Every structure is written in C-alpha cells, then in structure tokens.
Amino acid sequence: MPSEHPASRKLPFGFHLLLAGQSVSLMGTQVSTLALPLTAIAASGANAFTTGMLLACARLPYLLVGLFAGLLVDRISHRRLLMTANFVMALVFITIPLIALSSGHIRVEQLYAVALLTGTALVVADITFLSWVPALVQPSLRTAAQNRIELAQSVAVVMGLPMAGWLIGALTAPIAILTDALSLLIMTVLLLFVPARSTSALVPLAPTEGLPPHWWTEALEGARFVMHTPLLRAATLATVTIVFFQSAYAAVFILHLSTQLHMNATEIGLVTSMAAIGSLCGAVLARPIAQRLGVGRTLALALTVSAAGALLCPLFPSRMMTALSQCTLWLGMQVYNVHQVPIRSVLAPEHLHGRVNASIRTLVWGLAPLGAVLGGISGNALGTSATLAIAACLMASASLWVIASPLWAVRTPYLTLHGRRQ
C-alpha cells in the first residue's frame, strides 16, 4: 500500500490552499469555543443548564437547516457559499465585543442568539467544505486527503487552544472573540484563489412551482442513500451515538474544569490543548492501525478508546489526568474520523455529495442539542462528575453499530464502489 507522503505530494494545490484557510479559521474557532462558555458561566453564575443550552443552540441549526444546506451545496458555487457563511459568522461574532464594550454586560440570551446564528452559518460552511474536498481530490487520494485534513486540524488546535487561553486571560473572553472573526475573514480571502467547481458539476435549479414538498423530496434523497447503503448507515449511526453522548459530556466539561478543578482560562486552554496532541497522534497512527487490523475493527477500537479516555476525567479528578483524558479521547476520535469520513465520498455519487454530507450532518449534529440539554440538566441534578462519567460510559455503545454491521468485515481503507447497495 502506498505510503502517506507520496500520496500527499500528489494532492492538488487548490486542496492545500483550502486546507490552509480552514486551518487558520480553526485556530480562531478555539478562541470562541472556549470564550463563549466562559462568558456564559460568568453571566449565569456557573449554571450547568446554561452551558448545556449554549451548546444546544450551536448544534440546533444542523437539525433546522442541514438538509436544505445540502441542497444548496449541490446547486451553488462552493466558493460563494463558504465565503458568505464565513462573512456572516464574522459579523455575528463582532457583536459580542461591541456589546461588552458599550454596555459592560452580556446577557445569556444574547449568547444564545450568537450561538444560533453562527451555528446556522457553520452548517453551510461545514457541509460546503466536506463537499468541496472530493471535488478537488480524485477518489484514490481521498483517504490521504482526509488524513492531511486531520493532521492540519490537529496542529491548528494545538496552537489555537493555548493561544485562546492566553488571549482570554489578557483581553477577557468577550474581547478575545474578535480573533475568531479575524480568522474567518482571512480564510475568506484565501478562498478567492481556490479553484471553483465546474458549473457542469452543479445540479441546475429546477422550478419548484411554489411547492415545498419538491424541495424536501430532493433534500431527502441524500438521507435515503445513506439509509439504503449498509456501510454508510452503520458508520452514520455510530457517529450519531458517539456525538450525542459526547455533547452531553461537553455541555458540562468546561464548567467542571472551572468549578471542580478550579482552573482559570489559561489552564483550561493548556489542558484542553492535549486534545489536539491526541488528535495529531491519531491522525499519524490511523492508517498503520487500519493496515494491521482492517478498517472495521479500527473504527470499533477507536470508538472504545475514545470513551475510555473520556472516563478518565471524572474518575481521576486532577489536571494531569484531565490532560491525559483529553489526549486519549481525541486520539480515538481522530482515528475514527480519518476512516469514516472518506466512506461517504467514495460510496456516494458526485451529484449527491452535498446532500449525503448534509443528511449525515443533520442526523449527527441535529440530535446533539438534545444530548447537550440532557447533559446540562444532569449536571444540575447529579453534578458534573457524575454526568461526565455516565456520558463517557454511554459513548462506548457507539462501537456496537460497527460490530453488528458489514462494516466490521471491511479491511481495506480504499473502499471501492462495488456493492454500494447491498
């Protein structure tokens, strides 16, 4: 099997430019990811339900607009959609420091609105990025491309989280969010130089005659493809399960670090940056592990390792064990993502990439708000430690979808189109 390095060198320049923009944006994202919940904790007096609701508002747009976003991605220029989404997110993020400077106080409801609006734009950006990559990269190089994406994202997070903690400590959380807005604008400029998809690859806009069901029929075509493709269905259900319970976990995680382990923003940034170290290791190890165990067994093992890592934090409440917990959790998730994401781009026909990605994102992240709300409720009722432990144990159940499906028997990381529908 070819090594990673030759394959990566064959990846087109447009892909590397797109990834560079995505990496810059992801560094900025670490600031808002840390700053928004810390701002909410300060505004609400350390309430677990508030942090859960904030995460739910950020994830809810996947359920509300995910399928429609997929339809847009298959019909409109990738560049235009991603640039518009980035610009909208930047504008909304800028409102937080403006409010903080003008009034000196930010209400929780304002943070909910910011999370909902930026979450909506993020749905479009996320699905567009996922669909733009296979449009730039030939099928035989897509696993290598995904590996390169995971590596670049890990490096961005390694650099971004400590930077986020330092900026929040130096500028306060609301002001530091300006960094995310700036990173989005930088990415938008870089996108101007990425090759656009050929107009021949776009699905022509069909007249709706004012009938919404026509749009839903087309939008749901991606979901039907996912559910009728056994390998894709198993991977999607496993991802739904792990993300649902990880959302419950994430809803109280930063609150747990702040109130139970008494960490400040800089310490939280440093400890959580270990997640990126784990992700980086996972991206490097993903292909060698799959070559030895096969893709199916690697996916199941990665999900189990991720859940075990999550459990370390509540069982051993210390800074060192929390750092190890984050490293192990995201090592497993990265190995999983390197192999599950290319499955959809290889099995799905090109004209359905947007709708297939949207359907999966809608299923996965559309249910995440419920997980986040349940995590917040549980945090208030049972405490953050118990909530983290329960969520971590339930995360392990995701591997059962892989074990009980044809995906378990898949060995090669280079899936072929044979047996698309079994």
CATH classification at residue 60:
1.20.1250.20
385 pLDDT exceeds 70? Answer: yes
Using pLDDT thresholds of 50, 70 and 90, give the confidence band for residue 75: confident
> Span 207-215, mean pLDDT?
46
117 pLDDT exceeds 60? Answer: yes
State the pLDDT at residue 210.
Answer: 39
Range of the domain at 251: 4-192+216-409
The region of weakest confidence among 99-113, 114-128, 189-203, 219-233 is 189-203
> Span 353-358, mean pLDDT?
78
State the pLDDT at residue 113.
Answer: 94
Q: What is the 3-state secondary structure (H, E, C) of the chain?
A: CCCHHHHHHCCCHHHHHHHHHHHHHHHHHHHHHHHHHHHHHHHHCCCHHHHHHHHHHHHHHHHHHHHHHHHHHCCCCHHHHHHHHHHHHHHHHHHHHHHHHHHCCCCHHHHHHHHHHHHHHHHHHHHHHHHHHHHHCCHHHHHHHHHHHHHHHHHHHHHHHHHHHHHHHHHCHHHHCHHHHHHHHHHHHHHCCCCCCCHHHCCCCCCCCCCHHHHHHHHCHHHHHHHCCHHHHHHHHHHHHHHHHHHHHHHHHHHHHHHCCCCCHHHHHHHHCHHHHHHHHHHHHHHHHHHHHCHHHHHHHHHHHHHHHHHHHHHCCCHHHHHHHHHHHHHHHHHHHHHHHHHHHHHCCHHHHHHHHHHHHHHHHHCHHHHHHHHHHHHHHHCHHHHHHHHHHHHHHHHHHHHCCHHHHCCCCCCCCCCCCC
6 pLDDT exceeds 80? Answer: no
| Angstrom distance (rounded) from CA 89 to CA 91 | 6
Using pLDDT thresholds of 50, 70 and 90, give the confidence band for residue 44: low
Residue 289 lies in a domain: yes
State the pLDDT at residue 308.
Answer: 98
Supply 385's token pair.
Answer: 């430690």
> Span 243-259, mean pLDDT?
93
121 pLDDT exceeds 70? Answer: yes
User: Which residue from 311, 309, 315, 362 is spatially nearest to 336, judged by alpha carbons?
Assistant: 309
196 pLDDT exceeds 80? Answer: no
The total domain count for the chain is: 1
201 pLDDT exceeds 60? Answer: no
> Span 121-139, mean pLDDT?
87
Residue 198 lies in a domain: no
Residue 173 lies in a domain: yes
Using pLDDT thresholds of 50, 70 and 90, give the confidence band for residue 293: very high
User: Which residue from 374, 364, 291, 370 is spatially nearest to 333, judged by alpha carbons?
Assistant: 364
Give exposure, 349-358, as e/b (b: 16+ Cβ within 10 Å).
eeebbbbbbb
The region of weakest confidence among 37-41, 251-255, 352-356 is 352-356
State the pLDDT at residue 421.
Answer: 41
| Angstrom distance (rounded) from CA 412 to CA 341 | 14
Between these two residues, 283 and 3, which has the higher pLDDT value? 283
Residue 208 lies in a domain: no
Residue 90 lies in a domain: yes
User: Which residue from 148, 9, 143 is spatially nearest to 412, judged by alpha carbons?
Assistant: 143
Residue 197 lies in a domain: no
4 pLDDT exceeds 50? Answer: no
Supply 334's token pair.
Answer: 């990265």
| Angstrom distance (rounded) from CA 334 to CA 348 | 22
Most confident of 69-73, 178-182, 191-195, 281-285: 178-182
Q: Percent of the chain beyond pLDDT 90?
A: 42
What lies within 8 Å, CB to CB, of 100 at 6+ separation is 106, 172, 174, 175
Between these two residues, 396 and 357, which has the higher pLDDT value? 396
State the pLDDT at residue 246.
Answer: 96
Residue 414 lies in a domain: no
Residue 386 lies in a domain: yes
State the pLDDT at residue 212.
Answer: 44
Mean model confidence pLDDT for the chain: 85
Using pLDDT thresholds of 50, 70 and 90, give the confidence band for residue 169: confident
Using pLDDT thresholds of 50, 70 and 90, give the confidence band for residue 1: very low
Between these two residues, 313 and 74, which has the higher pLDDT value? 313
State the pLDDT at residue 219.
Answer: 66
Phi, psi dihedrals of residue 51, rounded to the nearest 5°: -65, -35
State the pLDDT at residue 46.
Answer: 59
Q: CA torsion sign, 171 to 172 to 173 to 174? A: negative
Phi, psi dihedrals of residue 385, rounded to the nearest 5°: -65, -45
| Angstrom distance (rounded) from CA 177 to CA 28 | 8
Using pLDDT thresholds of 50, 70 and 90, give the confidence band for residue 325: very high
Using pLDDT thresholds of 50, 70 and 90, give the confidence band for residue 413: low
| Angstrom distance (rounded) from CA 365 to CA 332 | 19
The region of weakest confidence among 61-70, 122-131, 364-373, 380-389 is 61-70
Checking phi first, is residue 40 left (phi over 0); if not, alpha (psi -120 to 50) or beta? alpha
Contact at 8 Å (CB) between 251 and 47? no
227 pLDDT exceeds 60? Answer: yes
